[in-house]
Amino acid sequence: MGNMIKKTSKISRPGRGSADPKKGAVLLIAILVSSVALAVGFGVYNRTYKELLFASFWKQTQIAFSAADAGLECALYWELHKEVPNPACFGDDILPAKWVPGEEANFNLDIPGGGCVNIIIAWDSDPLVLATTTSARGYNTCDTTSSRRVERGLGFSL
């Protein structure tokens, strides 16, 4: 068979090895479009994440406010019905000895639906003045070390 060597010829491709300015235009456009799409996607993700945190915050605020409201309603009810021998709020007894004019009563109660409340009732020391100031501080969690603890307060005077 002898000397059968095939000769291959080089096919020249335009733009290869030459300084053609159109050479990287498609790659540049693809990188720019993907960068813009990535930036928009990150912005949407960031906004969604912040909205979720905000919604969670308002839910926790509602729990704290509801706890304060429930505690205040309970305290008001027992202030108006002092003749009951063993008043209770949410299953916790409130000792009648704490309801003394001229003194201050402090109650910490757990709310069954979530949260807890601190109720402070202060009576005026003047027996002729029957002024009472009641305040309730509601919390979304009873854990005092929680960094996500939210406090809301309500109060009234009679």
Residue 72 in any domain: the answer is yes
> Containing domain of residue 57, as a range?
25-157
3-state secondary structure of 116: strand
Residue 44 in any domain: the answer is yes
Number of domains in the chain: 1
Is 70 exceeded by the pLDDT of residue 14?
no
Beta bridge partners of 106: 120
Tens digits of residue pLDDT in 81-104: 777 777 788 887 776 545 667 778
Residue 1 in any domain: the answer is no
Q: Give the closest residue to 72 by CA, choosing from 130, 143, 138.
A: 138
Residue 77 backbone dihedrals phi, psi, to 5 degrees: -60, -45
3-state secondary structure of 97: helix
Residue 11 in any domain: the answer is no
Residue 91 in any domain: the answer is yes
Q: Quick one: pLDDT at residue 136?
A: 94
Neighbours of 103 (CB within 10 A): 12
**The whole model's pTM is what?**
0.65
Beta bridge partners of 154: 136
Q: Are 111 and 67 in contact (CB under 8 A)?
A: yes
Residue 29 in any domain: the answer is yes
Neighbours of 121 (CB within 10 A): 21
Q: Give the closest residue to 68 by CA, choosing from 157, 150, 158.
A: 150
Average pLDDT across the chain, whole number: 82
Residue 18 in any domain: the answer is no
Q: For residue 154, what are its two tokens?
A: 């309500």
What is the phi-psi region of residue 67: left when phi exceeds 0, alpha when psi lies from -120 to 50, beta otherwise?
A: alpha
Q: Quick one: pLDDT at residue 7?
A: 61
**Triad 114, 120, 121: Cα angle to 5°:** 130
Tens digits of residue pLDDT in 20-63: 666 678 888 999 999 999 999 999 999 999 998 888 888 899 99
